Structure 1
Amino acid sequence: MASQDGIREAIGLIRGANAATLASSAEGQPFASLVTPAPAPDLSPLLWLSTLSAHTRQLAAEPRCALLFTGTAEGPNPQTAPRVTVTGLAERVPEAEVPALKARWLARHPYAALYADFADFSLWRVRIGGALQVGGFARAERIKASELAPDPEAVAAILAAEAGIIDHMNADHADAVAAIAQGLLGGAAGDWRIVAVDVDGCDLSDGNQTVRLAFLARLSDSDAVRAALIRATREGRARLNG
């Protein structure tokens, strides 16, 4: 069994990544490319891919793939950076699920609205099969998919409450959202809004950049999210006023 610290770090890397390295293959030949993922509520990485890209054609023919998510190195040695390699199966998202999941992907990558409706693009999802978490130099452990997966009931509860949380915070507590984004998460001054909420945290965007608030633990209902946002607001304001 993987350590709780390793699991939490892996989840944080997957949830927080704006970019990742995709490993696909063509007739046995490995191929690596840069992709821009966003996590679905159940943690599955979402990819908005063009059929003009080699990796999209490769995933259609061979869905087995891997994604490398990398954090920031502690110093000049790149191997001190935390990272997680996720293995799994890629699949096109069914049309019925596309609108909601595409909106979630665009919330993480708002700049992509310029090309998000091009006919050659479609939404893909990677079903996680397992992971290798490396917390830094010579610190590695394998993590089962079941250890990464959030509780389905908690996912459903937060998803059901998400729109209400977002509307309430953005309409009634814009100052709190700004305090979290700028004071706690280091974002620049801007018109910050909460754009996505899940069991592990929430995404905030000013329309150009996106920052992520990671909760201290996985949450299971809207009351817990409210408490987490109150705590984050207080800390953000304290830092701004400090």
Structure 2
Amino acid sequence: MTDEPKNAVPQFDAQAEAKSLLRTARAAALATLAQPSGHPFASLVNVATAPDGSPILLLSRLAAHTRHLDTDPRLSLLLYSAFNMPSGGDPLTHPRLTILGRAKRVSDPTERQLLRARFLARHPKSSLYADFADFGFFRVAMETAHLNGGFGRAANLDADRILTPLDGAEELVADEAELLASIESAEPRLAHRLATAFGSSEGAWQMIGFDPEGLDIGDGERLIRIAFPTPVATSSELRRTIADLL
């Protein structure tokens, strides 16, 4: 058996890095196509994710980027996570993920309620305007992504490599709100204990969402993504996996 060098560089796992950025980014640079010129138009938006990892956007009809998407749904999103980034230094040394896809306005009431709950769990202040008549939720259908993990670390990824399969877990994700409430009721300090275990004890941590591949806990502007060792598909598997994390 060969010993690893003392100063060995950690292995670069592009898929895991991309999934982590997708789930932890709270904001993104949104690029749409301005009409009629076709010029790229960049703006800043808040972002969350659906259970399968598809980005969720809350946009106003009054915004230029929304009018662009209503004409041409193609877009690009640049995601990065500022949490735990050291202050100063070169920002280009930090990972970022560029997504190419198409935005679809959500009109189905059931789907809208699910996306609304997940978005507001991550951005509670958006509840002040989320239900205004001119605002709507959009789901981004990812096609491809490009991960830049810092100097010398890059990868192109098809959407299916960073999305989370939901086959067999449909009931689990549909019951997300009830399960989170039940788990927190049984163990009120669970999120704090998990944050402590993952290196961030200070703050008012709470569970803000889960999917078959991981649990998200948050404290205001901060987010921690806790990836599960193996995917879960039922409520009992979810509870057992969370208990094992502790």
TM-score interval for Structure 1 and Structure 2 normalised by the shorter chain: 0.7 to 0.9
Describe the superposition over 1:29-50 as per-residue Cα deviations: whole angstroms up to 9, x where unpaired: 1111111110001111000001
Structure 1 pair 220–228 and aligned structure 2 pair: CA distance change class (3 A): closer
Q: Among 81, 91, 105, which residue is 2:119 paired with?
A: 105
User: Who is 1:24 aligned against?
Assistant: 32
Q: Is the 8 A contact 2:166 2:212 kept in 1?
A: no
**Counterpart of 2:231 in structure 1: which amino acid?**
L
- Superposition pairs for residues 126-205 of structure 1, below 5 Å? 126-160=140-174, 162-182=176-196, 184=198, 186=200, 188-190=202-204, 192-205=205-218
> What is the aligned-residue identity percentage?
37
Equivalents in 2 of 1:112, 1:182: separation in Å? 28
Equivalents in 2 of 1:94, 1:202: separation in Å? 27
Q: By how many angstroms is 1:223 displaced? A: 4.0
Q: Among 102, 107, 115, which residue is 1:94 paired with?
A: 107
- Three-state SS of the structure 2 residue aligned to 1:230 is helix
Q: Which moved more, 1:148-157 or 1:165-174?
A: 148-157
Q: Which runs of 5+ in 2 are unaligned?
A: 1-10
Equivalents in 2 of 1:133, 1:49: separation in Å? 25
Task: Give the structure with the higher percent helix.
Answer: 1
User: Who is 2:69 aligned against?
Assistant: 59
Describe the superposition over 1:187-222 as per-residue Cα deviations: whole angstroms up to 9, x where unpaired: 6433x432311123223345x445233214451323
Q: By how many angstroms is 1:155 displaced? A: 4.4
Equivalents in 2 of 1:170, 1:113: separation in Å? 22
Cα RMSD (Å)? 2.4
Q: Is the 8 A contact 1:36 1:47 kept in 2?
A: yes
- Three-state SS of the structure 1 residue aligned to 2:149 is strand
Question: 1:213 aligned to 2:213?
Answer: no
Q: Among 10, 14, 19, which residue is 1:6 paired with?
A: 14
- Three-state SS of the structure 1 residue aligned to 2:200 is coil
Q: Which moved more, 1:3-12 or 1:91-100?
A: 3-12
**Counterpart of 2:89 in structure 1: which amino acid?**
P
